[in-house]
Amino acid sequence: MSTLPFRRGERVNLSTSEVMIVGADPDGLEILAQMFAGFGVHTPRRCHDGQEAMTIVGERELNLIVVDSALGDMDGYSFISWLRRSAIAPNCHAPAILVTGHTKPSQIFKGRDAGASFVVRKPVPPLVMMQRIIWLLNDHRQFVSSPTYCGPDRRVRAMGPPVGMRGRRHDDLSIEVGAAKTPNLEQDEIDALFSPKAAAL
Amino acid sequence: MSTARIFRVENRLAKIARTHGGKTIDEAVRSAEARVASVRDRCVSALAGKAEQLAAYAKAAKGERTGDNVNGLYDVSNAIFGVAGVYGLNALAEAACSLCDLVDRSRGGEEINRSAIDVHVDGIRLLATGETEGAESILAGLRRVRARFAPPT
Protein backbone atom coordinates (compact mmCIF):
# COMPACT_ATOMS: atom_id res chain seq x y z
CA MET A 1 0.00 0.00 0.00
CA SER A 2 2.70 2.50 0.91
CA THR A 3 4.12 2.55 -2.61
CA LEU A 4 0.81 3.30 -4.29
CA PRO A 5 0.60 6.54 -6.24
CA PHE A 6 -2.37 7.90 -4.32
CA ARG A 7 -3.56 9.11 -0.96
CA ARG A 8 -6.92 8.12 0.42
CA GLY A 9 -7.87 11.80 0.67
CA GLU A 10 -7.34 12.32 -3.07
CA ARG A 11 -10.45 12.84 -5.15
CA VAL A 12 -11.52 10.78 -8.11
CA ASN A 13 -14.50 11.68 -10.26
CA LEU A 14 -15.89 8.68 -12.12
CA SER A 15 -19.46 10.01 -12.34
CA THR A 16 -19.38 10.63 -16.08
CA SER A 17 -17.17 7.69 -16.99
CA GLU A 18 -18.59 4.92 -19.15
CA VAL A 19 -17.75 1.61 -17.49
CA MET A 20 -18.75 -1.72 -18.98
CA ILE A 21 -18.77 -4.84 -16.80
CA VAL A 22 -18.95 -8.22 -18.53
CA GLY A 23 -19.56 -11.58 -16.87
CA ALA A 24 -21.75 -14.65 -17.17
CA ASP A 25 -22.58 -14.95 -13.48
CA PRO A 26 -25.41 -12.55 -12.55
CA ASP A 27 -24.32 -12.35 -8.91
CA GLY A 28 -20.71 -11.64 -9.78
CA LEU A 29 -21.95 -8.97 -12.16
CA GLU A 30 -24.19 -7.48 -9.47
CA ILE A 31 -21.29 -7.30 -7.00
CA LEU A 32 -19.08 -5.48 -9.51
CA ALA A 33 -21.91 -3.16 -10.58
CA GLN A 34 -22.59 -2.21 -6.94
CA MET A 35 -18.89 -1.65 -6.40
CA PHE A 36 -18.58 0.73 -9.35
CA ALA A 37 -21.79 2.52 -8.38
CA GLY A 38 -20.19 3.03 -4.96
CA PHE A 39 -17.11 4.46 -6.65
CA GLY A 40 -19.42 7.05 -8.18
CA VAL A 41 -19.96 5.63 -11.67
CA HIS A 42 -23.43 6.83 -12.65
CA THR A 43 -24.62 3.78 -14.54
CA PRO A 44 -22.21 0.87 -14.84
CA ARG A 45 -23.21 -0.95 -18.03
CA ARG A 46 -23.70 -4.70 -17.50
CA CYS A 47 -23.26 -7.35 -20.19
CA HIS A 48 -24.06 -10.99 -19.57
CA ASP A 49 -22.03 -12.46 -22.41
CA GLY A 50 -19.33 -11.71 -24.92
CA GLN A 51 -21.72 -11.10 -27.83
CA GLU A 52 -23.65 -8.43 -25.93
CA ALA A 53 -20.37 -6.80 -24.93
CA MET A 54 -19.16 -6.77 -28.55
CA THR A 55 -22.35 -4.96 -29.56
CA ILE A 56 -21.84 -2.31 -26.85
CA VAL A 57 -18.22 -1.83 -27.92
CA GLY A 58 -19.52 -0.92 -31.37
CA GLU A 59 -22.16 1.47 -30.06
CA ARG A 60 -20.73 3.45 -27.15
CA GLU A 61 -17.48 5.13 -26.19
CA LEU A 62 -16.17 3.29 -23.15
CA ASN A 63 -13.61 4.52 -20.63
CA LEU A 64 -13.06 1.29 -18.70
CA ILE A 65 -13.91 -2.34 -19.40
CA VAL A 66 -14.00 -4.96 -16.63
CA VAL A 67 -14.22 -8.52 -17.91
CA ASP A 68 -14.67 -11.78 -16.03
CA SER A 69 -12.68 -14.72 -17.36
CA ALA A 70 -15.97 -16.66 -17.81
CA LEU A 71 -18.47 -15.10 -20.22
CA GLY A 72 -20.59 -18.10 -21.15
CA ASP A 73 -20.36 -17.83 -24.92
CA MET A 74 -16.59 -17.20 -24.92
CA ASP A 75 -13.88 -16.57 -22.38
CA GLY A 76 -12.65 -13.20 -21.18
CA TYR A 77 -9.25 -13.71 -22.82
CA SER A 78 -10.82 -14.11 -26.27
CA PHE A 79 -13.02 -11.07 -25.73
CA ILE A 80 -10.07 -8.84 -24.81
CA SER A 81 -8.07 -10.17 -27.73
CA TRP A 82 -11.01 -9.38 -30.03
CA LEU A 83 -11.40 -5.91 -28.50
CA ARG A 84 -7.74 -5.01 -29.07
CA ARG A 85 -7.85 -6.12 -32.70
CA SER A 86 -11.34 -4.75 -33.40
CA ALA A 87 -10.00 -1.38 -34.60
CA ILE A 88 -13.09 0.20 -33.01
CA ALA A 89 -11.45 3.37 -31.75
CA PRO A 90 -11.22 4.62 -29.09
CA ASN A 91 -12.63 1.52 -27.36
CA CYS A 92 -9.93 -0.80 -28.68
CA HIS A 93 -7.43 1.26 -26.63
CA ALA A 94 -9.59 1.51 -23.49
CA PRO A 95 -8.16 0.10 -20.28
CA ALA A 96 -9.40 -3.46 -19.73
CA ILE A 97 -9.24 -5.27 -16.40
CA LEU A 98 -9.55 -9.06 -16.51
CA VAL A 99 -11.00 -10.59 -13.33
CA THR A 100 -10.32 -14.26 -12.76
CA GLY A 101 -10.63 -16.73 -9.92
CA HIS A 102 -8.00 -19.07 -11.15
CA THR A 103 -4.60 -17.48 -11.27
CA LYS A 104 -1.94 -19.98 -12.17
CA PRO A 105 0.94 -18.28 -13.99
CA SER A 106 -0.11 -19.56 -17.44
CA GLN A 107 -3.50 -17.90 -16.96
CA ILE A 108 -1.91 -14.57 -15.99
CA PHE A 109 0.37 -14.67 -19.04
CA LYS A 110 -2.62 -15.56 -21.21
CA GLY A 111 -4.49 -12.48 -19.93
CA ARG A 112 -1.49 -10.24 -20.40
CA ASP A 113 -0.85 -11.56 -23.90
CA ALA A 114 -4.51 -11.08 -24.83
CA GLY A 115 -4.00 -7.36 -24.18
CA ALA A 116 -5.46 -6.90 -20.69
CA SER A 117 -4.24 -3.81 -18.88
CA PHE A 118 -4.42 -5.74 -15.60
CA VAL A 119 -5.33 -9.21 -14.42
CA VAL A 120 -7.01 -9.12 -11.00
CA ARG A 121 -7.51 -12.18 -8.85
CA LYS A 122 -10.89 -12.89 -7.27
CA PRO A 123 -12.20 -12.16 -4.75
CA VAL A 124 -11.87 -8.48 -5.57
CA PRO A 125 -12.53 -6.24 -2.57
CA PRO A 126 -13.37 -2.59 -3.42
CA LEU A 127 -10.01 -1.33 -2.13
CA VAL A 128 -8.11 -3.61 -4.49
CA MET A 129 -10.27 -2.59 -7.46
CA MET A 130 -9.77 1.07 -6.59
CA GLN A 131 -6.00 0.54 -6.41
CA ARG A 132 -6.07 -0.90 -9.92
CA ILE A 133 -8.14 2.02 -11.19
CA ILE A 134 -5.67 4.50 -9.71
CA TRP A 135 -2.83 2.60 -11.35
CA LEU A 136 -4.67 2.91 -14.66
CA LEU A 137 -5.12 6.66 -14.16
CA ASN A 138 -1.34 6.89 -13.89
CA ASP A 139 -0.63 4.42 -16.67
CA HIS A 140 1.61 6.00 -19.31
CA ARG A 141 2.42 2.82 -21.17
CA GLN A 142 2.36 3.09 -24.94
CA PHE A 143 0.20 0.89 -27.11
CA VAL A 144 1.67 -1.85 -29.28
CA SER A 145 0.11 -3.24 -32.42
CA SER A 146 1.93 -6.08 -34.11
CA PRO A 147 1.00 -9.30 -35.92
CA THR A 148 1.44 -11.26 -32.70
CA TYR A 149 0.28 -8.82 -30.02
CA CYS A 150 -2.04 -5.88 -29.68
CA GLY A 151 -2.44 -4.03 -26.38
CA PRO A 152 -0.64 -1.95 -23.78
CA ASP A 153 3.13 -2.29 -23.78
CA ARG A 154 3.89 -5.42 -21.78
CA ARG A 155 7.34 -4.13 -20.85
CA VAL A 156 6.71 -2.53 -17.49
CA ARG A 157 10.41 -1.85 -17.01
CA ALA A 158 12.51 -0.32 -19.79
CA MET A 159 15.35 -2.79 -20.10
CA GLY A 160 16.32 -1.77 -23.62
CA PRO A 161 16.38 -4.07 -26.64
CA PRO A 162 17.90 -7.56 -26.36
CA VAL A 163 21.69 -7.69 -26.61
CA GLY A 164 22.82 -7.60 -30.22
CA MET A 165 19.54 -6.15 -31.52
CA ARG A 166 18.77 -2.58 -32.49
CA GLY A 167 15.25 -2.50 -31.08
CA ARG A 168 12.09 -1.42 -32.86
CA ARG A 169 11.37 1.86 -31.10
CA HIS A 170 12.69 5.25 -32.02
CA ASP A 171 13.55 5.83 -28.34
CA ASP A 172 15.22 2.47 -27.69
CA LEU A 173 18.64 3.21 -26.26
CA SER A 174 21.84 1.78 -27.66
CA ILE A 175 23.84 -0.57 -25.49
CA GLU A 176 26.87 1.64 -26.21
CA VAL A 177 27.36 4.23 -23.50
CA GLY A 178 28.64 7.56 -24.76
CA ALA A 179 30.78 10.12 -22.97
CA ALA A 180 29.06 12.18 -20.28
CA LYS A 181 27.72 15.50 -21.56
CA THR A 182 26.94 17.08 -18.18
CA PRO A 183 29.05 17.40 -15.03
CA ASN A 184 28.95 14.54 -12.52
CA LEU A 185 26.52 14.94 -9.64
CA GLU A 186 27.93 15.80 -6.26
CA GLN A 187 27.42 13.19 -3.53
CA ASP A 188 24.77 15.26 -1.74
CA GLU A 189 22.85 15.58 -5.03
CA ILE A 190 23.02 11.81 -5.44
CA ASP A 191 21.91 11.33 -1.83
CA ALA A 192 18.96 13.65 -2.44
CA LEU A 193 17.74 11.36 -5.22
CA PHE A 194 17.62 8.45 -2.79
CA SER A 195 16.18 10.27 0.23
CA PRO A 196 13.15 8.32 1.49
CA LYS A 197 9.81 10.08 1.34
CA ALA A 198 6.85 9.15 3.53
CA ALA A 199 3.72 8.12 1.65
CA ALA A 200 0.72 8.78 3.88
CA LEU A 201 -2.47 6.86 3.07
CA MET B 1 11.77 -9.00 -37.69
CA SER B 2 8.02 -8.31 -37.55
CA THR B 3 6.69 -4.80 -37.92
CA ALA B 4 5.29 -3.34 -34.74
CA ARG B 5 3.50 -0.04 -34.45
CA ILE B 6 4.04 1.62 -31.09
CA PHE B 7 2.06 4.71 -30.25
CA ARG B 8 0.63 6.79 -27.45
CA VAL B 9 -3.09 6.74 -26.69
CA GLU B 10 -4.99 9.34 -24.74
CA ASN B 11 -5.80 8.22 -21.19
CA ARG B 12 -9.46 9.28 -21.33
CA LEU B 13 -10.26 7.62 -18.01
CA ALA B 14 -7.64 9.77 -16.26
CA LYS B 15 -8.96 12.90 -17.98
CA ILE B 16 -12.49 12.25 -16.71
CA ALA B 17 -11.44 11.09 -13.25
CA ARG B 18 -9.47 14.26 -12.64
CA THR B 19 -12.31 16.64 -13.36
CA HIS B 20 -13.72 18.69 -10.49
CA GLY B 21 -16.03 16.92 -8.05
CA GLY B 22 -16.30 13.22 -7.34
CA LYS B 23 -15.40 11.48 -4.09
CA THR B 24 -12.27 11.03 -2.04
CA ILE B 25 -10.78 7.59 -2.52
CA ASP B 26 -11.70 6.79 1.07
CA GLU B 27 -15.33 7.78 0.53
CA ALA B 28 -15.48 5.86 -2.75
CA VAL B 29 -14.10 2.67 -1.19
CA ARG B 30 -16.38 2.89 1.84
CA SER B 31 -19.41 3.54 -0.31
CA ALA B 32 -18.50 0.59 -2.56
CA GLU B 33 -18.05 -1.70 0.46
CA ALA B 34 -21.46 -0.70 1.79
CA ARG B 35 -23.12 -1.33 -1.56
CA VAL B 36 -21.42 -4.71 -1.99
CA ALA B 37 -22.56 -5.66 1.55
CA SER B 38 -26.13 -4.62 0.67
CA VAL B 39 -26.48 -7.44 -1.87
CA ARG B 40 -24.85 -10.07 0.36
CA ASP B 41 -28.01 -11.99 1.28
CA ARG B 42 -29.18 -12.23 -2.30
CA CYS B 43 -25.80 -13.39 -3.60
CA VAL B 44 -25.10 -15.85 -0.77
CA SER B 45 -28.54 -17.43 -1.00
CA ALA B 46 -27.92 -18.08 -4.71
CA LEU B 47 -24.83 -20.16 -3.93
CA ALA B 48 -26.82 -23.32 -3.15
CA GLY B 49 -28.42 -23.10 -6.59
CA LYS B 50 -25.02 -22.70 -8.20
CA ALA B 51 -23.77 -25.78 -6.34
CA GLU B 52 -26.68 -27.78 -7.77
CA GLN B 53 -25.79 -26.48 -11.24
CA LEU B 54 -22.27 -27.70 -10.59
CA ALA B 55 -23.56 -31.17 -9.71
CA ALA B 56 -25.61 -31.27 -12.92
CA TYR B 57 -22.57 -30.35 -15.03
CA ALA B 58 -20.41 -32.91 -13.22
CA LYS B 59 -22.99 -35.63 -13.87
CA ALA B 60 -23.30 -34.71 -17.56
CA ALA B 61 -19.54 -34.39 -18.02
CA LYS B 62 -18.69 -37.90 -16.82
CA GLY B 63 -15.68 -39.11 -18.74
CA GLU B 64 -15.28 -35.95 -20.79
CA ARG B 65 -12.17 -33.82 -20.67
CA THR B 66 -13.42 -30.95 -22.75
CA GLY B 67 -16.73 -29.62 -24.04
CA ASP B 68 -19.61 -27.52 -22.80
CA ASN B 69 -20.25 -29.50 -19.62
CA VAL B 70 -16.62 -29.36 -18.55
CA ASN B 71 -16.50 -25.63 -19.34
CA GLY B 72 -19.72 -25.20 -17.35
CA LEU B 73 -18.12 -26.99 -14.41
CA TYR B 74 -15.18 -24.59 -14.55
CA ASP B 75 -17.28 -21.45 -15.02
CA VAL B 76 -19.69 -22.22 -12.17
CA SER B 77 -16.91 -23.10 -9.72
CA ASN B 78 -15.18 -19.86 -10.77
CA ALA B 79 -18.42 -17.96 -10.04
CA ILE B 80 -18.84 -19.64 -6.64
CA PHE B 81 -15.25 -18.77 -5.78
CA GLY B 82 -15.82 -15.12 -6.65
CA VAL B 83 -18.98 -14.67 -4.58
CA ALA B 84 -17.86 -16.80 -1.62
CA GLY B 85 -14.53 -14.99 -1.45
CA VAL B 86 -16.09 -11.53 -1.44
CA TYR B 87 -18.36 -12.44 1.49
CA GLY B 88 -15.73 -14.21 3.59
CA LEU B 89 -17.02 -17.77 3.06
CA ASN B 90 -13.46 -18.96 3.01
CA ALA B 91 -14.00 -22.72 3.16
CA LEU B 92 -16.39 -22.62 0.21
CA ALA B 93 -14.04 -20.30 -1.70
CA GLU B 94 -11.09 -22.64 -1.15
CA ALA B 95 -13.07 -25.70 -2.26
CA ALA B 96 -14.32 -23.90 -5.40
CA CYS B 97 -10.85 -22.65 -6.28
CA SER B 98 -9.48 -26.16 -5.86
CA LEU B 99 -12.17 -27.51 -8.21
CA CYS B 100 -11.32 -24.82 -10.78
CA ASP B 101 -7.74 -25.99 -10.71
CA LEU B 102 -8.66 -29.68 -11.07
CA VAL B 103 -11.00 -29.04 -14.00
CA ASP B 104 -8.49 -26.79 -15.71
CA ARG B 105 -5.75 -29.39 -15.37
CA SER B 106 -8.07 -32.05 -16.73
CA ARG B 107 -8.95 -29.77 -19.69
CA GLY B 108 -5.23 -29.31 -20.25
CA GLY B 109 -4.81 -33.06 -20.76
CA GLU B 110 -3.60 -34.05 -17.31
CA GLU B 111 -4.86 -37.34 -15.92
CA ILE B 112 -7.18 -36.31 -13.08
CA ASN B 113 -9.12 -38.92 -11.13
CA ARG B 114 -12.85 -38.38 -11.72
CA SER B 115 -13.59 -39.16 -8.08
CA ALA B 116 -11.46 -36.21 -7.02
CA ILE B 117 -13.78 -33.93 -8.99
CA ASP B 118 -16.93 -35.63 -7.69
CA VAL B 119 -15.77 -35.36 -4.07
CA HIS B 120 -15.14 -31.63 -4.60
CA VAL B 121 -18.61 -31.14 -6.05
CA ASP B 122 -20.17 -32.94 -3.06
CA GLY B 123 -18.09 -30.86 -0.63
CA ILE B 124 -19.11 -27.63 -2.34
CA ARG B 125 -22.79 -28.63 -2.23
CA LEU B 126 -22.53 -29.13 1.53
CA LEU B 127 -20.61 -25.91 2.14
CA ALA B 128 -22.94 -23.88 -0.09
CA THR B 129 -25.95 -24.83 2.02
CA GLY B 130 -24.37 -22.98 4.93
CA GLU B 131 -22.67 -25.92 6.58
CA THR B 132 -20.17 -24.20 8.83
CA GLU B 133 -19.66 -26.58 11.75
CA GLY B 134 -18.15 -29.29 9.61
CA ALA B 135 -16.49 -26.89 7.17
CA GLU B 136 -12.98 -27.51 8.42
CA SER B 137 -13.30 -31.27 8.22
CA ILE B 138 -14.82 -31.06 4.73
CA LEU B 139 -11.87 -28.91 3.64
CA ALA B 140 -9.38 -31.25 5.29
CA GLY B 141 -10.96 -34.11 3.34
CA LEU B 142 -10.72 -32.22 0.06
CA ARG B 143 -7.08 -31.36 0.75
CA ARG B 144 -6.34 -35.06 1.33
CA VAL B 145 -8.04 -35.94 -1.95
CA ARG B 146 -5.98 -33.28 -3.74
CA ALA B 147 -2.76 -34.55 -2.18
CA ARG B 148 -3.61 -38.13 -3.13
CA PHE B 149 -4.94 -37.70 -6.68
CA ALA B 150 -3.85 -34.31 -7.93
CA PRO B 151 -1.02 -32.72 -5.95
CA PRO B 152 -0.41 -29.06 -6.76
CA THR B 153 2.02 -28.64 -9.64
Q: What is the ipTM of this complex?
A: 0.91
How many domains, chain B?
A: 1
List per-residue pLDDT tens for chain A, 201 residues long: 445 556 767 899 999 999 999 999 999 999 999 999 999 999 999 999 999 999 999 999 999 999 999 898 899 999 999 999 999 999 999 999 999 887 777 778 888 999 999 899 999 999 999 999 999 999 888 999 999 999 999 876 666 666 666 666 666 655 555 566 566 666 566 555 554 555 444
- What pLDDT is recorded for position A1? 42
- What pLDDT is recorded for position A179? 61
Q: Of B1, B35, B50, which is closest to A34 when you measure between CB atoms?
A: B35
The answer to the question of residue A163 being in a domain is: no
The answer to the question of residue A168 being in a domain is: no
pTM of the model: 0.83
The answer to the question of residue B27 being in a domain is: no
Q: Which residues on A lie below 8 Å from B66 (Cβ)?
A: none
CATH number of the domain within which A113 lies: 3.40.50.2300
Q: Which residues on A lie below 8 Å from B26 (Cβ)?
A: 8-9
Collapse the DSSP code of B113 into the 3-class scheme (helix H, G, I; strand E, B; otherwise coil) and give the result: coil
The answer to the question of residue B4 being in a domain is: no
The answer to the question of residue B23 being in a domain is: no
- Provide the b/e sequence for A39-62 (b: ≥16 CB within 10 Å): bbbeebbbbbebebbbebbeeeeb
- What pLDDT is recorded for position A104? 74
The answer to the question of residue A132 being in a domain is: yes
Q: CA–CA separation, A13 vs B23, rounded Å?
A: 6
How many domains, chain A?
A: 1
CATH number of the domain within which B95 lies: 1.20.120.160
Q: CA–CA separation, B151 vs B105, rounded Å?
A: 11
Taking the CA of residue A52 and the nearest CA in chain B, the distance in Å comes to 18
Domain limits for position B53:
44-149
A and B: number of Cβ contacts within 8 A: 204
The answer to the question of residue A87 being in a domain is: yes
pLDDT digits (tens, 9 = 90+) for B74-91: 999 999 999 999 999 999
